[in-house]
Amino acid sequence: MLIDRPYIKNIIMNKFTLMIYLLILLNLDLSCVQPETNKGDNIVTDTSNVDMILNMEKDTLVFTSGIRSIFQDSRGNYWFGSHQEGVCLFDGKTFNYFTTDDGLSDNQVRSIQEDKNGIIWFETGNGVSNYDGKNIKSPISKNILDPNELLSNKWEKTGKDLWFNAGNSNGVYRYDGQKLNYLSFPKAKLINHNNVYHVTGFSKGKNNQIWIATFAGVFGYNGKAFTIINDESLGLNDESGFLHIRSILEDRKGNLWIGNNGIGVLLNNGDTTINFSEKNGLIHFFSSRGGGKSLAGTLEHVFAIEEDSEGNIWFGDRDTGAWKFDGKTMTNYIIDPKLSTQMIWDIYEDNDKNLYFAMGNGGVYEFNGKSFDRKY
C-alpha cells in the first residue's frame, strides 16, 4: 500500500495526534516492497478509522451530569438540556453545545420550548434564555425582580403562551409572544412549612387549562379562575405523607397525574384525588413517604410523566426506572442494568412517535417496544 505522506503529516498535527498515528500504522501494510500501480490508478487511503476518531465529539452526546429535558423543534432538530453542562443541539449529524459562556443564563436546562416564530426557549435553574438560530440571549437572568414590577402584572392567558419557572419566587414567567411577564400565585396555605410553592413543571389541559406544578401543590388556571390542589385540599398529614411534586400531566381523557417525590403518583379526575401508587401496591409498607431511597418494585419518586401516542401513561422513577400504565396493568422496566442509577428526568415522544428517556447518568434511551436501546 502506498503511504500518502502529506496526509499523515496533516493528521499527526491534529489534537488526537498519537492515537490517530498509531491507528494508521496498524492499518498500513509495512512491507518494504510497494506494489506497482497503473498510471491511471487513483491512490485512495482508507480513512474510516481516522474519521471515526475525528468525529468522536460530533457523534456522541457527551453530557455526564444528567439529561433534564428533550425537545424536537419544528425543523426536526433535537435539543438536550443537561443538569449542569448547558444545552446541546443535534441536527442529525453534529452535536453543538451551548453554556453560560455562550449567553445561557444557567447551565441547568430544565425544559425547552419553541415559540410561533421558531425561537427556542430554555427554562434554566436561574432564569430564561432563548436562541434565534445564531445567538443565545437571556432577557431575564435573575430570579429576583423588582417588587413594583411584580405587582404590575395581571394573570392572563392565550393559546400561544409559553410558561416558565421563576426560580425561587412563588410565581411563574409567562411569555405572551412579545414579552415576559412575572405572575405571582394566589395565596395558598402551607401545612408542611418545610415546603414551598416553587415551580417544578407545567401541563396544558382541556378547557384552556394550564396546570402548574410546584413542590407544595398544583395551581390550575383557565384564564378566569384558579384550581388549587395542595396538602390542605387533600387533607394530607404526617402519616399519609405530604406533597413534594416533581412532575405533572393531564392526559387526553382529562385525567390529571401528579408525580411526587415520596408519596408516588396521585390521580385527579376533577372530582376526587386518589393515591394511584398506594392503590396499586406500589408504596412499600415501611416507606418513609419522604426522600429516602425506594426499594425495587415501588413507584414513590416520580420525576417524569408522559403519555405516548397509544395512550399509555409512562412514569419515570428516581430509583426504580420506568413504569407503563396501559389503562389496566402496570409494567416496570429497568432501563439499563449497567447504569449507576435508573433515575429518569424526562420522557419525550418525538414527531415520529419515538419514545425517549432522559437519564440521570447522562444518556438518552429509546424504547423499542420491549426494552431500551442507548440512542445518544
pLDDT range class, residue 146, cuts 50, 70, 90: low
Portion of the chain with pLDDT greater than 70, in percent:
81
Residue in 242, 238, 327 with CA at minimum distance from that of residue 229: 242
Position 242 pLDDT exceeds 60: yes
The DSSP 8-state label assigned to residue 29 in this structure reads -
pLDDT range class, residue 216, cuts 50, 70, 90: very high
CA distance 310 to 298: 24
Position 49 pLDDT exceeds 80: no
Full set of structural domains in the chain with CATH: 5-54 (no CATH), 118-374 (2.130.10.10)
pLDDT, position 271? 85
pLDDT, position 83? 97
For residues 199-204, average pLDDT = 97
- Decide: 173 and 165 in contact? Cβ < 8 Å: yes
pLDDT, position 13? 38
pLDDT range class, residue 165, cuts 50, 70, 90: very high
Return the C-alpha cell found at 84: 449542569
260-288 pLDDT, tens digit each: 999 999 999 988 999 999 999 999 999 99
Position 3 pLDDT exceeds 50: no
pLDDT range class, residue 40, cuts 50, 70, 90: very low
Residue in 254, 366, 360, 262 with CA at minimum distance from that of residue 313: 254
Strands 226-230 and 217-221: antiparallel
- Decide: 305 and 249 in contact? Cβ < 8 Å: yes
Helix, strand, coil fractions of the chain, as percent rounded to 5: 10, 35, 55
pLDDT, position 29? 37
Position 205 pLDDT exceeds 90: yes
CA distance 363 to 13: 32
pLDDT, position 181? 86
pLDDT, position 149? 53
- Decide: 368 and 362 in contact? Cβ < 8 Å: no
Position 301 pLDDT exceeds 70: yes
174: three-class secondary structure by DSSP: strand
pLDDT, position 63? 96
For residues 76-98, average pLDDT = 97
pLDDT range class, residue 38, cuts 50, 70, 90: very low
Position 20 pLDDT exceeds 90: no
For residues 143-171, average pLDDT = 76
- Mean pLDDT check: name the lowest of 30-39, 121-130, 278-287, 292-301: 30-39
- Decide: 222 and 270 in contact? Cβ < 8 Å: no
Whole-Å CA distances, 261 to 253, 265, 299, 304, 314: 25, 9, 10, 11, 16
- Mean pLDDT check: name the lowest of 1-15, 177-191, 197-211: 1-15
124-139 pLDDT, tens digit each: 999 999 999 999 998 8
pLDDT, position 120? 98
Whole-Å CA distances, 70 to 112, 117, 278, 290: 7, 20, 30, 28
pLDDT, position 32? 32
First and final C-alpha spacing in the chain: 37
pLDDT range class, residue 227, cuts 50, 70, 90: very high
CA distance 161 to 140: 17
For residues 69-82, average pLDDT = 98
* pLDDT, mean over the chain: 85
pLDDT, position 277? 98
